[in-house]
Structure 1
Amino acid sequence: MKITDSVLRSFRAARTYSANTEKINCVDYSPNGEHAISSSDDDSIVLYDIREGTPCNTLYSKKYGVGLIRYTHGDSHTVIYSSNKLDDTIRYLSLSDNKYIRYFPGHTARVIALSMSPTDESFISGSLDKTIRIWDLRSPNCQGLTNPLGKPVCSFDPDGLIFAAGVESQAIKLYDLRAYDKGPFACFETNFNRNCDWTGLRFSNDGKQILISTNGGMIRVMNAFSGSVMHTFSGYNNTKGISLEACFTPDSRFVMIGSEDGRVHVWSTESGMKVAVHDGKHPGPINTLQFNPRYLTFASACSKMTFWLPSISDL
C-alpha cells in the first residue's frame, strides 16, 4: 500500500505493551521489518515479533545499562548498543544466546549517536567526548576518528558512502567515508529561531533530505545536496527540553515525531503541511518513534511501547 495523507490519518494504536518500568530510550526495527527491539533505563532490551505483534524475549544489561541500540546490517539476531551506566564502551550482542561477540572501547564520554551502515559491517558513533569514531564489526579497534570540533550527532547516508555530523547544534558537516581524514567536503550552517540543542540527525531513504531533531519543539528538513532549508516544523509540545526523536517514513515523503503530551505529529515533506495528529494515550513523553522499513506500521514509546496500524475501513 502506498503511503498517502489519508493512510497516515487512518493509523490507530493497535497494541500497547508495558514490558518496561522506566523510560524507553531507543527503538529499532530489524532490516527485514519482522522484529523490533527497544532499550530502556530499566536496563532491559525487549525483543518484539512484528508478525505476531507481541514481545518475544527480554534481555538485561544490569551492569552497563543500555542507551542507544541498533540492529546490525542485514541481521535480525545481533545488535550493537551503547552503555549509559558503567563505561562508554559499545557492545556487540548476539540476541540468540545473549552473549557478547565483541567490545568497542575508545569513547571517554557518553555515546549520543549510533548509526549502522546500510551496506556493510561499518558503523559510526558520536560522543560527548566530541569525537566521531568509525568502526567495523569484525574488529574491536577503532577504524578511524574525526574531531568535528563540538558535540556531534551523526548518521550514514542510505548508500553507506557518506556520513553527516551535526556539530554544536549549528552546522552539518558531510564526510566521505573513504576520505574522512581529509575533513568534511561540505558544511551547511543553519540556526533555529529559538535556543535548542540538536538531538538527532538522519537521512531520508532517497538520500535527498536530512532531518534534524532538537529538544526545542522544532525539527527541520534540509536539502542534502545544497544545505538549503526545505521545512521547519513545530506546533508540538516539548516545553521541558526533552530529546524527542523524529523519523522519515520509508518513502521519504513524510516526517513524524512524538510529543511530551503523548501525541504523534505527521507532516508532508512535499507540501510542508501537517497531515495528521494521533493521540496514542501515552502516559509520558514519546521519546522515540520509528517507522517499519518493510511493513505499514510504526512504533512509539515512552515507558510503554505502542505499535500502530492503519485502519483500512477509514481509507
Structure 2
Amino acid sequence: MKLSDQVMRSYRVAKLFKDQNTERINSVDFSHNGETLISSSEDDSIVIYDCLEGKPKRTLYSKKYGVDLIRFTHAQNTVIYTSNKVDDTIRYLSLHDNKYLRYFPGHTKKVVSLSMSPIDDSFLSGSLDKTIRLWDLRSPSCQGLMHLQGRPVASFDPEGLIFACGINSEMIKLYDLRSFDKGPFTTFKLLQDRDCDWTSLKFSADGRKILITTNGPVIRLIDAFTGQAQQTFMGHLNGKGARLEASFSPDAQYVLSGSQNGIIHVWNTENGQKVATLESKHEDNPIYCLQFNPKFLMLASSSQHMAFWLPNIDE
C-alpha cells in the first residue's frame, strides 16, 4: 500500500494507552525494524511497546536521573538517553536486564539533541552548554567536541557519513564524519525566525531534505544539498513555546506535526499544501511526540497518553 493524500486523510487512532504514564511523554523512538517502540516520560518511566501486537510489553524506571530523548542503538535491546535530574550525563542502558552499560559524562547543561548513527556505534549530542559532542558507544570518552555560538540541534544523515548541526536557529553546518575536526564542508545561512528557536533537525530517509522544527508556529523544509528553502509549514497551533515534534513519512512525501490542541497536521512536501488535519484522542492536550513507523503504515503520537494510528482503508 502506497501513501497518498487519501490514505493520509484516512488515519485513525487504533489503540490508545491511558494507563502507562502519569505525566507527559517527552520522547519516542522506533526500532530500525519497526517492531518495537520505546517512550520516555516526565514520570521517569521507560515504556516498551510491541508494534506488531499493538500493546505495551514492559515498563522500566529511571527514578534517580529522570529520562528524556531516548534512542534505540543498533541492538534492539539497548538504548541511550539523556537525564533531566541530577546531572547531564548520557546513559547507555540494556533493556534486557535493566542495567547501565556505560555513562557518557561531559555536558554541563541540559542535553537538547541526541542522534544515533544509522550505520555504527557513534552518536551525537548537543547541549545548552553550547557544545556538540561526538561519542562512540564503546568508550566513555568524547571522540570529538565542537564549541558553538548558541543552542545546537544535530542529526546524522541516513547514510551516517555526514552530520548536520543547526546553530543559533539561523544556520546549518554540514560536517563529514571522517574529517569533522577540519570544520564544516558547507554552511547554509537561513532566515532567522523571530520569537522561536529550532528544536530539532531531521533528514528525510532519502537524505535529500532537512526538516527544521521550532518551538513556534513554523516548520521549515530545506534542500539538504543546496540549503534552499523548499517549504514553510504553518497552521498548527504552537503558541506556548513547546517542543512539538514533526516528522517525515518514510517516503518523504509528507510532513506531519502535532499541535498544542491535540490535532495532527499533514502537509505534502512537494507543493507545501496541507493534506489533512487528524483528530486525535489526546483531548485537546499538546501532541509532543509524533513519529511514523519506518517499516509499517502506523503512526505513534503522544501527550500523556500514547496513541497508535492506522489508515482506515475502507474510507
- Structure 1 residue 194: Cα displacement: 3.8
2:194 is the alignment partner of 1:186:
no
- Aligned pairs for 1:155-304 (under 5 A) are 155-192=155-192, 194-283=194-283, 284-304=285-305
Aligned to 2:34: 33
- After TM superposition, give the deviation of residue 68 of structure 1 in Å: 0.7
Secondary structure in structure 2 of the residue aligned to 1:8: helix
Structure 1: segments with no counterpart, 5+ residues: none
Quote the residue 1:91 is aligned against.
91
Identity of aligned residues (%): 62
The separation in 2 between residues aligned to 1:120 and 1:309, in whole angstroms, is 31
Q: Matches of 1:117 and 1:149 in 2, distance apart?
A: 24
Given the superposition, is the C-alpha separation of residues 97 and 193 from structure 1 closer, same or farther in structure 2, using an over 3 Å criterion?
closer
1:6 Cα deviation after fit:
1.1
Residue identity opposite 2:44 in structure 1: D
- Aligned residue identity for 1:71: F
Contact 1:80/1:92, CA 8 A, preserved across alignment:
yes
Residues 198-207 or 180-189, more deviating: 180-189
Cα deviation digits, residues 204-226 of structure 1 (max 9, x gap)? 01100000000111100000011
Query: d(CA) in 2 for partners of 1:9 and 1:184?
Result: 40
How far is 1:143 from its partner? 0.8
Specify the code of the residue in structure 2 equivalent to 1:47.
I
Per the TM alignment, residue 146 of structure 1 is displaced from its structure 2 partner at its CA by 1.0
**Residue number in structure 1 paired with 2:152:** 152
Does the aligned pair in 2 maintain the 1:194–1:216 contact within 8 Å? no
SS in 1 for 2:308: strand
Contact 1:89 1:106 in 2 (8 A): yes
Q: Which whole-Å CA distance do the structure 1 matches of 2:58 and 2:193 have between them?
A: 44
Q: Give 1:148 deviation, angstroms.
A: 2.7
Correspondence for 2:8: 8
Query: Which amino acid counterpart does residue 186 of structure 1 have in structure 2?
Result: T
Spell out the pairing of 1:49-128 with structure 2 (5 A cutoff): 49-73=50-74, 75-128=75-128
For residues 148 and 159 of structure 1, what CA distance do their matches in structure 2 show?
A: 25
| Alignment deviations for residues 120-175 of structure 1 (CA, whole Å, 9 cap, x no partner) | 11110000111110011111111111113221010000010111111111111111
Q: Is the 1:291–1:297 Cα contact (8 Å) retained in structure 2?
A: yes
Alpha carbons 1:199, 1:214 under 8 Å: kept: yes
Q: Is the 8 A contact 2:209 2:222 kept in 1?
A: yes
8 Å Cα contact 2:169/2:192 also seen in 1: no
Tell me how far 1:192 sits from its aligned partner. 4.6
Distance in structure 2 (CA, Å) of the matches to 1:76 and 1:264: 28
| Distance (whole Å) between structure 1 residues aligned to residue 59 and residue 237 of structure 2 | 32
> For 1:200 and 1:177, how far apart are their aligned partners in 2?
20
192-201 vs 305-314, which deviates more? 192-201
Aligned partner of residue 310 in structure 2, secondary structure: strand
Q: Which letter does structure 1 place at the counterpart of 2:172?
A: I
Tell me the distance in 2 between the aligned counterparts of 1:148 and 1:175.
Answer: 14
Give CA-to-partner distance per residue, 1:29-68, whole Å, 9 cap, x none: 0111000000000000000000110011000000000011
Q: Give the root-mean-square deviation of aligned CA atoms.
A: 0.9
Once residues 180 and 53 of structure 2 are traced to their aligned partners in structure 1, the CA distance between those partners, rounded to angstroms, is 43
The runs of 4+ residues in structure 1 deviating greater than 6 Å are none
Deviation at 1:281, TM superposition (A): 2.3
Number of matched residues? 313
> Residue type matched to 1:304 in 2?
H
Task: Work out the CA distance in 2 between the residues paired with 1:192 and 1:106.
Answer: 30
Question: Which range moved further: 180-189 or 117-126?
Answer: 180-189
Q: Separation in 2 of the partners of 1:159 and 1:278? A: 32
User: In the aligned structure 2, how far is the partner of 1:88 from the partner of 1:258?
Assistant: 27
- Secondary structure of the 1:240 match is coil
Task: Give 2:308's aligned residue.
Answer: 307
Q: In the TM superposition, what is the alpha-carbon distance from 1:195 to its structure 2 partner?
A: 2.0
For structure 2, list consecutive stretches of 5 or more residues without a partner in the other structure.
none
